[in-house]
A and B are shown apart, each in its own frame.
Chain A
Amino acid sequence: MSESLKFLENEVQIAALLFMSVVYIVRLVWIFRFKFKKERTFPAGSSKAGIGYSLMNIAMPWAMESTRKKPWFYVQFVIFHLGVTAAIMATFIIPYRPSFFEVKIAVKVFQVIIGAAFLVGILRLIRRLTNPALRLINTADDYFSLILMILFFAAGVLAVRNKFRSAEWPLFLFFGLTAFFLIYVPFSKICHYLYYPFTRYFLGRTLGHRGAIPPKRAGGDRSSRAEEKGGL
């Protein structure tokens, strides 16, 4: 392996990762500087249950009409994010556990997952370009972020073989994109995963306190339960 590739896989990645972490911390501090509203009402439900339900919503496609009615879209979402996870894992495995990708089946599994995510990325790009409602709201950042992800997946499929002796360019491409990602992500829509737990937390907290979520089962009798807890 060339020294420059080794440098890209290690020092450059660590520096980019540190940069991303610092920006994320600043971003969270920025969000938390906005005021927090105190709740003054008696509960009719449980904030904790609401938060739990809200956070787990992502794993419950039946819970929302939007995902229940579009199972294929939900499957795409799962594949895409599994691909993201696999590609990120690869950025650590390749430099620090290279022996892992000497096992052929491991390479195949990663290639299938990341390759499927690549295809989903293409489908999502087509959707964004052809759906008038999405075209109207989509920004340059939305398109750029998605195209970057598609490229990242493509590079990931090639890189996980880790055959630097035969050709280093797939690894240069993959780690070059990774470093760029780490720097760009905190400024792009891709950092939505940073906000996700907080957005979900606040929604779950408010609606859980009110007993609106988790949804009641038919025949439920919240009034008497809340009364027992001193609520209503």
Chain B
Amino acid sequence: MKHKKNMPSGIVDAPLETKSQDQARLDQIPSLGQNRLKIYRPNADNVGSFLRLLGQRINRHLALSLTACVHCGMCAESCHYFLARPDDPTMTPVYKADQIRRIFKRHLDWMGRIIPWWVHADSPENDEDLNRLKNVVFGACSACRRCTLNCPMGVDTGLLVRFTRGLLTELGIVPEGVFNVSRDEWETGNQMAVTEEEYLDTLQWMKEELQAELANPDVDIPVDRPDCDILYTINPREIKFDPRSIANAAKVFHVAKEKWTLPKWGWDQTNFGLYSGDDNLGGYVARNVYEAAERLRAKRIVISECGHGYRSTRWEGYNWAGYDQKLPTESVVVTLQRYLREGRIKVDPSRNQESVTFHDSCNIARSGDLVEEPRWVINRVCLDFREMYPNRQENFCCTGGGGLLSMVEYRPLRLEVAKIKADQLKATGAKLVCTMCHNCIDGLTDVIKHYELDMRVVQVLDLVSNALVIP
């Protein structure tokens, strides 16, 4: 790509790390043999493969987003990267989208094929160019889609970034963290490589804790119970780092007299396919959940608090998996709202005295449908709720979205641009920031620590559980 020589170097120049890929090859892990997990092959024609995949995978919505941009620059100030680095023109969403757009123009559009210089059409020449593209789409964008909703033309830059990530993932040209999590998800069915034993042990532990807390030996965390009203699916992070959130959900289900279960397999509602752009991985993980619900004859799938998990399981997963939705699929926050509305649980808001603000997860507010529901619940379980500005669909990303928490090479840039989020949090004056996303918990915790803010992160279930009146 000739143009790159004249460009400012705001984009992180991270080399392609392949240690984990080399190890996976040595270990001959099954997903490699099955050609599900892709690794980098230095001697292959990667540029040719990239261009072939580009032509094969592009759909109408993407083609329109690639052709319709008028370079007006209206998206620039919607992006937290550009707002934090206003003097760096490589941080605008349009610049990032143009890195795939110029390849599309060179190989698929009209003018770009005939007079490439006239429309900035260009082609990657080698793997170095593809690695640079990797650093743009993985390292300088959290795919939060804030620019999408601020584009007068309706260009979906978030979708273009995910699409480009998917092409690079197919060639193994990905950050090492993305490879590692994808490998774990293919190999174990969950993104943190939680074993079945660890999963069941943790659930047993939480059950015992809950029985002790409620002084009730009948409280249960059921696994693989058939014919339930709810199949509850969780984030592996809850098993690894935050099992208390499972106990909180179990407590609420117990009080609401819910007939529920967790599945033994297909319990991970998170989905790294959303971040890596790998629709095959996305479809595989989502199908595990849908088939678990079918196998156990559950009447509804409920997704624990997770932004990308909700988007993947509720919306994208059915399409990736080619699986027609059969069951209602909802966030646990909607379940909580229903319990409160129907009087199945009672709460005492005076138990949550500290001031609370709410952070909307990008995947739920902009790519999903839940903005008022969490507010409805929070307002009933705490005394001092304060809005963050901007909020709802205009909220800024926690800066850890798009899988960025797993990509250590981009961490300094991520924390630098997190200043926008830090200022937003600080302005609320709240002591607690509530979010319905496990990824946002880690993203916000990083921001709070880095910018030394006097607040901590909680989830809606934490607040509800704390305010819950045990009959």
- Asked whether any CB of chain A lies closer than 8 Å to the CB of B153, the reply is yes
Which of A32, A67, A134, A226 is in CB contact (< 8 Å) with B152?
A67
Measured between beta carbons, the chain A residues less than 8 angstroms from B154 are: 54, 57, 196, 199-200, 202-204
Instruction: Give bound CA distance, A220 to B118, whole Å.
Output: 49
Could you tell me if A40 and B92 are in contact, using CB atoms closer than 8 angstroms?
A: no
Which of B70, B75, B324, B372 is in CB contact (< 8 Å) with A216?
B372
* Interface 9-residue window, one of A98-106, A111-119, A187-195: A187-195
Could you tell me if B315 and A133 are in contact, using CB atoms closer than 8 angstroms?
A: no
Is the interface on chain A under 10, 10 to 19, 20 to 34, or 35 or more residues? 35 or more
Could you tell me if A132 and B314 are in contact, using CB atoms closer than 8 angstroms?
A: no
Could you tell me if B152 and A57 are in contact, using CB atoms closer than 8 angstroms?
A: yes
Given A35-B60, A36-B59, residue A65 in contact with residue B71 (CB < 8 A): no
Measured between beta carbons, the chain B residues less than 8 angstroms from A34 are: 58-60, 62-63
- Asked whether any CB of chain B lies closer than 8 Å to the CB of A66, the reply is yes
The contact sample of 17 A-B pairs, CB cut-off 8 A, is A31-B63, A37-B319, A40-B325, A41-B315, A64-B149, A65-B390, A66-B77, A131-B73, A136-B8, A137-B94, A195-B64, A195-B67, A199-B153, A216-B372, A221-B376, A222-B370, A232-B328
Measured between beta carbons, the chain B residues less than 8 angstroms from A141 are: 111, 118-119
**In this complex, what residue of B is CB-closest to A131?**
B73
* Interface 9-residue window, one of B171-179, B237-245, B330-338, B453-461: B330-338
Q: Chain B's nearest CB lies how many Å from the CB of A144?
A: 8
- Asked whether any CB of chain A lies closer than 8 Å to the CB of B169, the reply is no
Could you tell me if A218 and B60 are in contact, using CB atoms closer than 8 angstroms?
A: no
- Asked whether any CB of chain B lies closer than 8 Å to the CB of A223, the reply is yes
**In this complex, what residue of B is CB-closest to A226?**
B369
- Asked whether any CB of chain B lies closer than 8 Å to the CB of A3, the reply is no
Instruction: Give bound CA distance, A199 to B67, whole Å.
Output: 9
Instruction: Give bound CA distance, A218 to B374, whole Å.
Output: 11
Measured between beta carbons, the chain B residues less than 8 angstroms from A54 are: 154
Instruction: Give bound CA distance, A210 to B319, whole Å.
Output: 13
Number of interface residues of B (CB under 8 A): 74
Could you tell me if B111 and A187 are in contact, using CB atoms closer than 8 angstroms?
A: yes
Instruction: Give bound CA distance, A36 to B319, whole Å.
Output: 12
Given A139-B118, A223-B334, residue A210 in contact with residue B372 (CB < 8 A): no
Instruction: Give bound CA distance, A141 to B7, whole Å.
Output: 19
**In this complex, what residue of B is CB-closest to A55?**
B154
Instruction: Give bound CA distance, A67 to B338, whole Å.
Output: 37
Could you tell me if A138 and B71 are in contact, using CB atoms closer than 8 angstroms?
A: yes
- Asked whether any CB of chain B lies closer than 8 Å to the CB of A29, the reply is no
Instruction: Give bound CA distance, A54 to B70, whole Å.
Output: 18
Instruction: Give bound CA distance, A135 to B95, whole Å.
Output: 11
A41-B318, A131-B73 given; 8 more Cβ-contact pairs under 8 Å: A31-B63, A45-B369, A58-B152, A66-B74, A134-B71, A137-B98, A140-B117, A202-B61
Could you tell me if B73 and A137 are in contact, using CB atoms closer than 8 angstroms?
A: yes
Measured between beta carbons, the chain B residues less than 8 angstroms from A140 are: 117-119
- Asked whether any CB of chain A lies closer than 8 Å to the CB of B429, the reply is no
**In this complex, what residue of A is CB-closest to B301?**
A232
Measured between beta carbons, the chain B residues less than 8 angstroms from A138 are: 71
Given A139-B120, A187-B110, A232-B330, residue A192 in contact with residue B369 (CB < 8 A): no
Which of B59, B71, B330, B370 is in CB contact (< 8 Å) with A37?
B59
Measured between beta carbons, the chain A residues less than 8 angstroms from B62 are: 34
**Interface set, chain B 391-422, CB cutoff 8 A to A:** 392-394
- Asked whether any CB of chain B lies closer than 8 Å to the CB of A62, the reply is no
Instruction: Give bound CA distance, A219 to B390, whole Å.
Output: 17
* Interface of A, helix, strand, loop or mixed by DSSP: helix
Could you tell me if A133 and B89 are in contact, using CB atoms closer than 8 angstroms?
A: yes
Measured between beta carbons, the chain B residues less than 8 angstroms from A32 are: 60
Instruction: Give bound CA distance, A231 to B330, whole Å.
Output: 10
Measured between beta carbons, the chain B residues less than 8 angstroms from A42 are: 325, 328-329
- Asked whether any CB of chain B lies closer than 8 Å to the CB of A168, the reply is no
Could you tell me if A66 and B152 are in contact, using CB atoms closer than 8 angstroms?
A: yes
**In this complex, what residue of B is CB-closest to A215?**
B393
Instruction: Give bound CA distance, A196 to B119, whole Å.
Output: 19
Q: Chain A's nearest CB lies how many Å from the CB of B449?
A: 28
Instruction: Give bound CA distance, A204 to B87, whole Å.
Output: 33
Which of B61, B92, B324 is in CB contact (< 8 Å) with A133?
B92
Measured between beta carbons, the chain A residues less than 8 angstroms from B75 are: 66
- Asked whether any CB of chain B lies closer than 8 Å to the CB of A206, the reply is yes
Given A41-B319, A66-B77, residue A135 in contact with residue B89 (CB < 8 A): yes
Measured between beta carbons, the chain B residues less than 8 angstroms from A132 are: 87, 89
**Interface set, chain B 101-122, CB cutoff 8 A to A:** 110-111, 117-120
Q: Chain B's nearest CB lies how many Å from the CB of A46?
A: 11
Given A66-B75, A210-B368, A223-B330, residue A136 in contact with residue B319 (CB < 8 A): no
Instruction: Give bound CA distance, A161 to B384, whole Å.
Output: 66
Instruction: Give bound CA distance, A136 to B94, whole Å.
Output: 10
Could you tell me if A40 and B324 are in contact, using CB atoms closer than 8 angstroms?
A: yes
- Asked whether any CB of chain B lies closer than 8 Å to the CB of A170, the reply is no
Given A134-B73, A212-B368, residue A199 in contact with residue B111 (CB < 8 A): no
Q: Chain A's nearest CB lies how many Å from the CB of B365?
A: 8
- Asked whether any CB of chain A lies closer than 8 Å to the CB of B150, the reply is yes
Interface hub of B69, B73, B110 (most chain A Cβ within 10 A): B73
Q: Chain A's nearest CB lies how many Å from the CB of B179?
A: 27
**Interface set, chain A 1-44, CB cutoff 8 A to B:** 31-32, 34-42, 44
Could you tell me if A232 and B334 are in contact, using CB atoms closer than 8 angstroms?
A: yes
**In this complex, what residue of A is CB-closest to B67?**
A195
- Asked whether any CB of chain A lies closer than 8 Å to the CB of B155, the reply is yes
Enumerate the 5 nearest inter-chain pairs by beta-carbon distance, A residue then B residue, closest first: A211-B369, A133-B89, A66-B150, A195-B68, A199-B154
Measured between beta carbons, the chain B residues less than 8 angstroms from A187 are: 110-111
**In this complex, what residue of B is CB-closest to A54?**
B154
**In this complex, what residue of B is CB-closest to A205?**
B61
**Interface set, chain B 65-86, CB cutoff 8 A to A:** 65, 67-71, 73-78, 82
Could you tell me if B64 and A38 are in contact, using CB atoms closer than 8 angstroms?
A: no
Scan B418-445; emit 1 where CB is below 8 A from any A CB, else 0.
0000000000000000000000000000
Measured between beta carbons, the chain A residues less than 8 angstroms from B70 are: 142, 189, 192
Instruction: Give bound CA distance, A227 to B382, whole Å.
Output: 27
Measured between beta carbons, the chain B residues less than 8 angstroms from A219 are: 372, 376
- Asked whether any CB of chain A lies closer than 8 Å to the CB of B21, the reply is no
Could you tell me if B118 and A210 are in contact, using CB atoms closer than 8 angstroms?
A: no
Which of A36, A196, A224 is in CB contact (< 8 Å) with B153?
A196
